[in-house]
Structure 1
Amino acid sequence: MKKNIKYLAGLCLMALGMSSCEYDNYDEPKLLFDGNIVYNGEPIGVSYNDVYFQLWEEGWQTFGNIGVAIDQDGSFSSLLFAGDYKLIIPADQGPFMNLTNQESGSDTIPLNINGSMNMDIEVLPYYMIRNVDISGNSSEVTANFGLEQIITDANARGVNEVVLYLSKTAFVDGRTSISSARLGGGDITDMSSIQLTTGVPDMTPTQGYVFARVGLRIEGVEDMLFSSIERIDF
């Protein structure tokens, strides 16, 4: 009985080894699919590695989907095999709503990848951050900006808060912030003219610059909307 078990175990190991070799011999994906998440051609800023979309390859659903993260500046990139894909942005992802695709009649975007492809994905944001001007010195940083409400129908959402974040690195959001200033949505008196100021703390090791950007938290929406990252030298 023990000999039979050892024999069966050996066969299993051989089978696994052969499968592993076959898997290792597969070509790696080489076709670049890249672009930006945009509104009227303007990239949508988000927090790093928090917002993503899914690529489903037809015929391979049982193997799950490819998750593609959206970078801080709204850009994305992924290496793919040639084939037909369905691009889906989950409903809980991003500070925006998905648009209906004319070809599919839904928010699913069909893709045919037969070579490297650059494509922007249009979405409908709840708000846009406008006219951002960030300046400062070694003591404090000030941001002046406005908010434009894009969605004004029954899907409209209120402003929870606006935040000015400072970071030692080019990754700027609440996780990396070394200083911040906040203003609640109910305290905003003029959406077109908002000012936030925060102090620059002592940094170890010392450095003569910080990175800054403005974030907007929308009521009932998990992901924040962000302005572009700016480096403030002093």
Structure 2
Amino acid sequence: MKAALDARQATVCRGTGAPLWAVADYAARTEPAAPVRIATASFHDLPDTAFVRDVPLLATIGMHRDATGFDCATSILGSGPARTSMVVNRAARSFFECSAHTLGLLRHGTDPAAFSRALADDGVYSAQPGLLVGLARHGLIEVDAPLTGTVGSDLMVEPTAELIRRDGVDFAVNLLSGRTIGMRPRLAELVGALRETGEPIPDPFHETTGVRALLRAGVLRRLTR
């Protein structure tokens, strides 16, 4: 079960005051095995790209070729085990935390069911349908099956998005990149309803600036038809 994050945990690394991405990037730069080549652009900042809702059951999952996995001393999100592992794609500016067991599965290649169970046991992220597509979207895992297609009208909230309220303002935080977006009340109501029901709905705002900003930030996902 995923532990709830407060507003500070969702944006700042505990004990440092530094943004989450800055700490993940620093950790990756000190890792000798980190890839040195330039990665291709991540899908998450392309608002017109549509994704399937979940990874096909017969697919094979591995670590993204531009990401590196390593053990670290502590969880920067503060919601995982005291000692944890991390996967970072510096070019895509994304990361996720997991256990050493989950990282081992990823390094050797695994199937969606086994990887989803391992992530659920880790308890760092919400084990909702679509989590694996979100990790692939952010350049952290690779899947040997197509994940994009014809753009549909439905939107969903990424399972790795955290909704917080601070000083009377609603924010959406992408826990895979640390990006934080302020939301107007109507948009916050939409995103909150999407998160509560867990079911995709048609975009009621028809491509407003706010919706596109959340798509680009990797908080919302546009689904295929």
- Please give the TM-score of this superposition, normalised by the length of structure 2: 0.25
Q: Which has the higher helix share?
A: 2
| Structure with higher RCO (Cα < 8 A, 6+ apart) | 2
* Higher Rg of the two aligned structures: 1
Q: Which has the higher strand share?
A: 1
